[in-house]
C-alpha cells in the first residue's frame, strides 16, 4: 500500500521526493517544466518554418533543427511512416542526409563543412 503521508505538498510528487519545502509553485521542477514547454514551443515553430520553406521549394528539409535531427517534432509512429515515404521522394539526397543526421537524439554541433553547404 502506498504511504500517502509521503505526498504532503498537494500532489507535487517531485518536490516531495526531493525534499523541497518551499512554495511548490516556485520549485526548480516547476521552473524546469516551464522551460521545457517554452523550448518545445520554440522547436515546433522553428521546425515548421524550415519544413514549410522546404516544401514550398520542393526540397528536403535539412537545415535548422533538421540539421541536427531528422524528426525534431514527431513521435516514433509518425517518424516511422516518414522513414518509409521520404526516401521514395528524395532518393540519394535523403540517403545522404539520413547517414549524417540522427533520427531522434540531436547532435549538438554541426560540422563546419555542413554549415557552409546548407547556407547556400
Per-residue pLDDT at 10: 57
101-111 exposure pattern, b = at least 16 Cβ within 10 A, e = fewer: beeeebeeeee
| pLDDT for 39 beyond 50 | yes
**Location of C-alpha cell 521526493:** 17
- Residue corresponding to grid cell 500500500: 1
Lowest-confidence pick of 3-7, 14-18, 29-33, 36-40? 3-7
103: nearest Cα among 119, 87, 91: 87
- Whole-structure pTM value: 0.52
Domain definitions of the chain by residue range? 9-119
Give the pLDDT band of residue 3 (cuts 50, 70, 90). low
Amino acid at each position: 500500500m502506498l504511504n500517502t503521508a509521503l505526498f504532503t505538498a498537494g500532489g507535487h510528487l517531485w518536490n516531495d521526493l526531493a525534499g523541497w519545502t518551499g512554495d511548490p509553485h516556485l520549485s526548480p521542477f516547476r521552473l524546469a517544466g516551464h522551460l521545457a514547454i517554452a523550448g518545445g514551443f520554440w522547436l515546433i515553430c522553428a521546425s515548421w518554418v524550415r519544413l514549410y520553406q522546404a516544401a514550398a521549394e520542393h526540397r528536403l528539409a535539412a537545415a535548422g533543427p533538421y540539421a541536427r535531427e531528422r524528426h525534431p517534432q514527431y513521435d516514433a509512429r509518425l517518424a516511422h511512416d516518414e522513414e518509409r515515404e521520404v526516401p521514395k521522394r528524395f532518393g540519394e539526397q535523403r540517403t545522404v542526409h539520413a547517414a549524417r543526421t540522427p533520427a531522434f537524439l540531436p547532435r549538438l554541433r554541426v560540422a563546419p563543412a555542413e554549415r557552409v553547404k546548407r547556407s547556400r
